[in-house]
Amino acid sequence: MRRNGFTLVEVMVALAVVAIALPALLVALYQQVDSTAYLRDKSIAHMVAANKLVELRILSKARQNLFTGTDSGVAQMAERDWYWWLESQPTEVEQFSRVKIIVARTEELQEQPLYTLVAFLSSDLRVEAVLEDAGEGAEDAGEGAEDAGEGAEDAGEGAGDAGESAGDDCEGPEDAGE
């Protein structure tokens, strides 16, 4: 005679399996949440460093002088304070400077930053030369684009003829149901 239900041994085994699996799942979930927070902080630190680099470029252009030396400060982003340190020094290559920007969550974590940005800036800050070169290149590119457009029209005519003849031999989706 067999009764419906589980025996005491089956219930105890099921509880043991749940007792082992549940903490492992909770640890994995906690690690995932912790990793997400770290990646968020690292992304924000990257934005702080990129903003400082853009600010340095703008100030250098305005002053017509590239900053060299060190600087530090606090930037606010995502309703939190971010500590940054900037170091700029000339390189062996003439008219280039190496800029290093370190961003950390607290002032004490300068040795273990969330993000470090290294960039090389040119100390050739003349605006006229760049604009003149860009203007000449744009005119040349425009002429080439017109020539390419004419060739594309010729290719399009041939493709249209081929499409019409190919369409006569094939069944389309509307013809397949007949």
pTM tops 0.85: no
d(CA 29, CA 37): 13
Task: Show the 3-state SS of 91-130.
Answer: CCCCCEEEEEEEEECCHHHHHCCCEEEEEEEECCCCHHHH
- pLDDT top residue among 45 and 123: 45
Strands lying side by side in the sheet with 69-77: 69-77, 80-90, 96-104, 115-122
Q: How much of the chain exceeds pLDDT 90, in percent? A: 55
Whole-number Å distance between alpha carbons of 80 and 76: 6
- Measured between alpha carbons, how far is 46 from 77 in angstroms, rounded to an integer? 11
Q: Which of these ranges, 3-7, 42-46, 165-169, has the smallest mean pLDDT?
A: 165-169
Question: What six digits make up the tokens of 161?
Answer: 């003829």
Q: What pLDDT is stored for residue 145 in this prediction?
A: 45
Return the H-helix or E-strand segment holding 84.
strand 80-90
Tens-place pLDDT, residues 56-93 = 999 998 988 888 999 999 999 999 999 999 999 999 99
Q: What is the mean pLDDT of the chain?
A: 79
The residue ranges of every structural domain in the chain are 8-130
- 70: β partners: 87
Instruction: Determine phi and psi for 104, rounding to 5 degrees.
Output: -135, 160
Query: Does pLDDT of 125 surpass 50?
Result: yes
Provide the pairing of β-strand 69-77 with 96-104. unpaired
- The pLDDT score that the predictor gives to residue 147 is 47
Q: How far apart are CA 168 and CA 1, in angstroms?
A: 75
Pick one of 3.30.1300.30, 3.50.7.10, 3.90.180.10, 3.20.20.80 as the CATH number of 8-130: 3.30.1300.30
111: phi then psi, degrees, rounded to nearest 5: -75, -15
